[in-house]
Amino acid sequence: MDKPCQAELARIYDRRFAATQEYRRCVWRVLVTHFFQKLVPAAGSVLDLGCGYGEFINAVRAREKFAMDLNPNSRQQLSPEVTFYEQDCSQRWPLADSCLDVVFTSNFFEHLPEKNMLSRTLHQAWRCLKVGGCLIALGPNIRLTSGRYWDYWDHHLPLTEASLCEGLSIHGFRIEQCLARFLPYTMVRQRQYPLWLVTLYLRLPLVWRLLGKQFLVVAKKP
């Protein structure tokens, strides 16, 4: 991606998230503490793919933490212990084979312009994950969001939990968990709910079936 495109990406991030940045950090600390941390070994290594402003990677506990994004402003949002790669995710990652325990990505795959780019990205995840390592993917489920999926300028690739699981299986992953409904669709232009309600939501999977619009897929490199 050229510099003008990266500048546009930075403007999109700033316009969409700047006003709610602190609230997003707080919500992600709850999500990590009460759900995602159990999937990430504290003594392991994790890459946040499409890290945005680093809400996940800053909150999670791990021995080694990496982040990747094309937004040049991401770097300044990351904690000092996070190694940042500003690059196209579909190009070869600057990481050794079989060095990661977890690749995590949230609300990122839908921003890729085509399936081939996603395919190359999944190949890199497979290469860099250890045997037994896992990819955790969270994203809007187009089957459930319907027309609202296209409310964002930079949404390109429509995915469901089923299509992503099929793509992962084609690339050699074994699906460990596949939820069509997990979190609500977005925090953008939404009410800022008390954090205790976020904690309660995570404890009530039955409510996910009513309010969840994002899929959650956990896939392992066997």
What CATH number has the domain bearing residue 123?
Answer: 3.40.50.150
Give CA separation, 91 vs 40, 96, 112, in Å: 25, 14, 13
Which domain does 144 fall in, by range? 3-75+96-220
86 part of a folded domain:
no
Tens digit of pLDDT at every position of the chain (222 positions): 554 466 665 555 555 555 578 889 999 999 999 999 999 999 999 999 999 999 999 999 999 999 999 988 899 999 999 999 999 999 999 999 999 999 999 999 999 999 999 999 999 999 999 999 999 999 999 999 988 989 888 899 999 999 999 999 999 999 999 999 999 987 655 678 899 999 999 999 999 999 999 999 999 999
pLDDT of residue 217: 98
The tokens for 20 are 């709610």
Give the Cα separation of 50 and 209 in Å (integer): 27
Per this entry, what is the length of the chain?
222
CB distance 26 to 195 below 8 Å: yes
pLDDT of residue 17: 53
81 part of a folded domain:
no
- Whole-model pTM: value is 0.90
Give the Cα separation of 60 and 58 in Å (integer): 6
Give the Cα separation of 158 and 156 in Å (integer): 6
Please count the structural domains in the chain.
1
* Each residue's pLDDT tens digit, 149-173: 898 888 999 999 999 999 999 999 9
